Structure 1
Amino acid sequence: MGNQQAMMRQAQAMMKKMQKAQDELAAKTVTGSAGGGMVEAVVNGAGEFQSITINPDAVDPDDVEMLQDMVVAACNEAVRASKELEGEMMGGIAGGLGLPPGLL
């Protein structure tokens, strides 16, 4: 019975660590850019977009498709950076659970 209680305490402590790491992750931001910085997307560690900035020089009414491509590229880069940050912050906790990275 004592072994089960110890496991429960360990599980509760790990849950607290996970919640704290998730809160910290949501407070951090990463930036993705495209077109030499003409378009920037900011995403928090939870993968939520915070902002998109488009340099006015990137707006060419005759080539809207290029601007659209830059927005998509910047967003994809920001999401990748967000996932990488999540992996770094949550990886140690997941390792303690014996779960593969990215499962949380």
Structure 2
Amino acid sequence: MKDLGGLMKQAQAMQQKLQDAQARLAESTVEGTSGGGMVTVVLKGTGELAKVTLDESLIEPGEGEVIADLIVAAHADAKKKLDAKQAQMMQDAAGPMAGLMGGMPGMKF
């Protein structure tokens, strides 16, 4: 039974680390780009779009479709980076229990 108590303490510590990591992630931002840097978007850690920056050369009549495509691509780039950052933070927070928790429903690593 002594081992069970230790395991419970480890689980509680890991839960606190995961909560801390989620809070840090929510406060972070990631940047995604497309078109060779002509479009840049910034996502908050929550996934919310915070900023879009367009190269002025794009702002010409008839470029609307290109701009829209580049914004979507920049967003996809930023989302991929955000997902990777989230996975790494959760992996770091879980520490030695990451392998154990990875197989549990609702836990993504």
When normalised by structure 1's length, the TM-score is 0.82
Could you tell me which amino acid in structure 1 is paired with residue 79 of structure 2? V
Aligned residues: 103
The answer (yes or no) to whether the contact 1:42–1:50 under 8 Å persists in 2 is: yes
Residues 14 and 51 of structure 1: is their aligned pair in 2 closer, same or farther, counting only changes over 3 Å? same
Q: Give the match for residue 17 of structure 2.
A: 17
- 1:44-63 alignment, distance < 5 Å: 44-63=44-63
The answer (yes or no) to whether the contact 1:42–1:51 under 8 Å persists in 2 is: yes
Residues 95 and 74 of structure 1: is their aligned pair in 2 closer, same or farther, counting only changes over 3 Å? farther
| Gapped regions of structure 1 (runs ≥ 5) | none
Quote the RMSD (CA, aligned, Å). Answer: 2.1
Q: Give the match for residue 108 of structure 2.
A: 103
**Percent of aligned pairs with the same residue?**
34
Q: Give the match for residue 69 of structure 2.
A: 69
Look up the SS of the partner of 2:37 in the other structure. coil
Residues 14 and 77 of structure 1: is their aligned pair in 2 closer, same or farther, counting only changes over 3 Å? same
Residues 27 and 70 of structure 1: is their aligned pair in 2 closer, same or farther, counting only changes over 3 Å? same
Query: Could you report, residue by residue, the CA deviation over 1:40-88 in whole angstroms, capped at 9, with x for unpaired residues?
Result: 1111233222211223321222131111100000000000011111122
Shift of 1:3: 3.5
Residues 14 and 72 of structure 1: is their aligned pair in 2 closer, same or farther, counting only changes over 3 Å? same
Could you tell me which amino acid in structure 2 is paired with residue 73 of structure 1? A
Query: Could you report, residue by residue, the CA deviation over 1:6-65 in whole angstroms, capped at 9, with x for unpaired residues?
Result: 232221111100011111112221110112222111112332222112233212221311
